[in-house]
Amino acid sequence: MSASFLPSRAPRSASGWIPGERLANRVAVPEPRPDAPRIGVLALQGDVLEHLRALRRCGADAVAVRDAAQLAAVDGLILPGGESTTIGKLLVRFGLLEPLQRRIAQHLPVFGTCAGMILLSDELDQDTPQPLVGGLHVRTRRNAFGRQLDSFDTRIEVAGIDGGPLDVAFIRAPRIEAILAEDVEVWARVEGHPVVVRQGHLLAAAFHPEVTGDDRLHARFVAEVRAGLQAGGAAPDGTATVRPPLHTAGPELT
Ligand code: GLN
């Protein structure tokens, strides 16, 4: 997926804002510094490249994750938007579902967006079962804002994000129907339903923050991964996480 789904002649709003215009104006992403946290993007299907670029703009060493060795080598992970049924089936097929569930149980910071939020949910509001990663104590309804044609760009206030409303895209977006545990914080709502939630090391957003060029949620996630590393890593027993080196080359991001 790329920013090209945005209408090329999007009408200017009264404020002069055109959805996605900041992304279109972006130039090459910077090289990560040697001390950058290594953050993966699950790269089985969906909106991978845009997340890698956004992470890189926020100072992370962004890498694609397609197997268990790559998963073991990251300090944090984004589950991208795309199609949750497809990503879930591929997680099973590539033997990644259980390793991912184990790393989440060991407090790996994970940020799920759109389909990624669906995958992180403990429960779905649907009869048909589909593979879920789980861990986030919410019940989520897929496609709650309508079909592809009902997709929209908007700006929403998000708790924990300074500097005014966040510029985001809702694309066949889910929403949270029920919060199932007290430690789930709601950071934003649309039409009364939670669309950004945070539960300890898990962050989830119903929309796509990576296609607009407004990187503040990514920056917040990168900052939290960095802070966790400085505090001694993500191991549940308090010992520092030792991550193996990553030998695979990442995709070209410029
Ligand atoms: N509707 C998709 C699903 O159920 C999610 C859409 C998206 O990630 N943009 O998986």
Q: What is the pLDDT of residues 99-153, one digit of tens each?
A: 999 999 999 999 999 999 999 999 999 999 999 999 999 999 999 988 888 888 8
Task: Give the pLDDT of residue 8.
Answer: 39
Nearest residue (CA) to ligand 1, atom 5: 115
Q: What's the CA-to-centroid distance between 235 and ligand 1, angstroms?
A: 31
Q: Span 197-204, mean pLDDT?
A: 97
Per-residue pLDDT at 249 exceeds 60: no
At residue 252, what are phi and psi to the nearest 5 degrees?
-70, 125
What is the per-residue pLDDT for 248? Answer: 42
Whole-number Å distance, alpha carbon 30 to ligand 1 midpoint, is 30
| pLDDT-wise least confident of 7-21, 74-88, 117-131, 195-209 | 7-21
Q: What is residue 86's predicted lDDT score, i.e. its pLDDT?
A: 98
Mean pLDDT of 64-72: 96
The alpha helices in the chain, defined as continuous H runs, are: 21-24, 48-57, 68-72, 84-93, 97-105, 115-120, 216-230
Q: Decide whether any atom of ligand 1 lies within 6 Å of the 84 Cβ.
A: yes
pLDDT, mean of residues 199-203: 97
Within 8 A by CB and 6+ apart from 48, the residues are 41, 42, 64, 80
Residue 204 vs residue 233, higher pLDDT: 204
Sign of the CA dihedral with 105 first, then 205, 245, and 231 last: negative
Confidence category of residue 23, pLDDT binned at 50, 70, 90: low
Which of 128, 153, 172 has the most ligand 1 atoms within 8 A of CB, as the residue to mutate? 172
**Rounded mean pLDDT of 183-198?**
95
Token representation of residue 179: 């919060």
Please say if the pLDDT value at position 215 is more than 90.
yes
Say yes or no: CB of residue 36 within 6 Å of ligand 1. Answer: no
Residue 192 has pLDDT above 70, yes or no: yes
Question: Is the CB of residue 105 less than 8 Å from the CB of residue 73?
Answer: no
Q: For position 29, what pLDDT does the model report? A: 73
Question: In Å, what is the CA distance from 23 to each residue of 13, 27, 69, 150, 198?
Answer: 17, 9, 32, 21, 26
Q: Which domains does the chain have, with CATH numbers?
A: 32-230 (3.40.50.880)
Check 114, 137, 193, 201 and give the catalytic one.
114
Distance 82 CA to ligand 1 centre (A): 5
For the Cβ of 88 lying below 6 angstroms from any atom of ligand 1, the answer is no
Ligand 1 near 124 CB (within 6 A):
no
Evaluate: CB of 45 within 6 angstroms of ligand 1: no
Indicate whether residue 142 lines ligand 1 (CB < 6 A). Answer: yes
Mutate to test the pocket of ligand 1, among 171, 176, 211 (most ligand atoms within 8 A of CB): 171
Q: How far is the CA of 87 from the centre of ligand 1 (A)?
A: 10
Which residue in 243, 170, 226, 221 sits closest to 55, CA to CA?
221
Residue 17 has what pLDDT? 47
In this prediction the pTM is 0.85
Does residue 175 line the site of ligand 1, with CB under 6 A?
no
Measured torsion, CA atoms of residues 200, 189, 178, 39, in degrees rounded to the nearest 10: -30
- Has residue 18 got a pLDDT over 60? no
pLDDT above 50 (res 4): no
Q: What percent of the chain has pLDDT over 70?
A: 80
3-class DSSP state for residue 101? helix
Closest CA to 180 of 192, 159, 194: 194
Atom of ligand 1 nearest to the CA of 81: 8
114 is catalytic: yes
Among 117-126, 153-162, 241-250, the range scoring the smallest mean pLDDT is 241-250
* Sheet of strand 136-141: strand arrangement: 121-124, 136-141, 175-179
Considering the chain, what percentage of its residues have pLDDT values greater than 90? Answer: 70
